[in-house]
Structure 1
Amino acid sequence: MHDDTSTEQASAAIERTGPRPELHEQWAQRHGVAAADRLAAAEDFADAVQAEITPPNTVGTYEKSWRVWERFCSTQGFPVTEGTRGALVAFTAWLLHEGRQTPGPGGVLGYAPASAGVHLTGAVVGLRQRGHQVTKDDSAAAREALDGLTVKLLKAGERRGRGKAPAADTDGLRRIAASTPNTLAGLRDKSLVLLSFNVAGRASEPAGLLLGDVTLQKQGMRVSILTGKTKWSVRQPAIPYAKDPDVCPVLAWTAWREALLAIDERYADPADPAFHAIDRWGHVGGAMSPDAVTDAIARVAERAGVPLRWTGHSLRSGLASEGRNAGKDSVAIARQGGWAPNSRSMLGYMQTSDDWTDNAASGLL
């Protein structure tokens, strides 16, 4: 039985629902305005939960992608509220051929396929968040168009984007460990690289660590990573002592923290950042940002003469590929690095090793 509510009250209730007036009106017709208000409030609560559990960098990416979608709709004369099959496929083609505002490498105006895929996802998410329907079939059609157009680009000899970050290897780690100076910044860099490799850390993960997140134990140390992006990446990997003390992450961590503590006892506070920014004069600052972590890894790798330019992601992919080389189980690798057990990205890193160690052509001639 519907609640007895005036037209004015119903109109006011619909205005309160933000991007869902049509849904609220349907609910009101089916169940009454009071029930529709409660359903709308539940939707608002679900939105708030989603916002709370979505990483800030993901939110920023979606916002950027929505602005790209708005720019596309403006140039094509499309309404921003309609994520139809045709509009999304056209958006995909536009992204690949002319979507950038400034030319990329080689003067290309189109996005790299990976970036186009991110913007496509962001546009679909943005449309749905704003109460506009996008069916799975329409979204899948756009994704299929992206895959097909990417193949055409590859056949035409166009390879856009930076490609995968080169994976770190144990030889590079030894070079870095040997080349880091015995200074406060050098001790930090050595510990940062070795810890990040051993936990397959994204740049954001060592940047978010606190002193209290790292605990020394008899067998080594355990790291509580609480800034992960997924339920898998929030983890507590154990890092054992290395056989070679020169590349031991536990000894490197201890040396770095002891040097810091010798400067000021306040660095013993469990809430202290695990890795501090240090300027060229040796002054200690606050926590390193993810970009600072990436810059530090690239800098020390270059200084060590590592042949390929490492990025923050090189250490993450390196743990998977080197672990595979050493015969480690994929479940153990996933647990250490915070991947889902059948993660496509992890399996891709491991395939780099399998291409040589489990090669179908190996030994045939």
Structure 2
Amino acid sequence: MTRPMPSPETAAPSLDPLVALVAEDMAAVNALILDRMQSPVALIPQLASHLIAAGGKRLRPLITLAAAQLCGYRGTRHQMLAACVEFIHTATLLHDDVVDESLLRRGAASANAVFGNKSSVLVGDFLFSRAFQLMVEDGSLRVLGVLANASAVIAEGEVHQLLTTGDLATDEARYLEVIGAKTAVLFAAAAEVGAVVADRPEEEISALRYFGTQLGVAFQLIDDALDYAASQAALGKTVGDDFREGKVTLPVILAYARGTAEEKAFWHRTIEDLEQTDDDLTTAQALMEKYGTIRETVERARQVGEDAKAALARFPALPIRASLMEAIDFAVARGY
């Protein structure tokens, strides 16, 4: 099963315009990240560097920098906070890969596969601590509240996802609650702090928070679709990981709800009981194709992306706003 490619006459959406507009700030953020992940305990920078060297779009810190620029901010606080956001995200990746027993991250061996689970968890804790040090250095209780709350909600979302794993009684509302917590809340915080440091009115802060939330939901919906629809090389991790772990994502929820009794029995065996054969992933993909659940998940992401765009309408029609609009399209159309 493959994702449709853009037509030749339509250029694929890209993050390049956004990256170009915040390039100077991002260089400062990258330097700060490299500096703050240093430690006299050699394993810490070694393991952190392994994950950072694997690449990644750095979308969340990009959002912080872009939000601040959109709001006319002229200082440097947003650089420190963008690094903070990236440390929180990186810490959650380290912990997630241990929980999920993932062997690949961004196309390379995951940190836990190389360094072991104990090291990955502890270095993740270190990066969380670094993030909180950066929050304190910023000195704003408002910023501290936004990012500390996001960190707590992310942890709650991960535990909630653990509880829904293997539970086919999970409905769409509960699924959206999980992804809103484990993914969207950091996108929301990343955008919100960009407006907070610019001392913008509450309406603009709220609009950027909503933009971030909807972008994060769209991003996770596409992630969950790609776990069944992408090639492994494009995905950067093992295709079908969610299936093998028994995660109940929207493509599964829709396929299960629309299935025959025999098909429902298949889902109970593979997702709830985790009794899987080598051919079961292919069967799952075929059922999703039969009921159009990947296409519907992508369409839901597109609709949520339109909500994110609408939230930006109150801001001036500057190049940075246009680049954020394109970032939304990128999140929906990406193949990796």
Per the normalisation by structure 1, the TM-score is 0.23
Per the normalisation by structure 2, the TM-score is 0.25
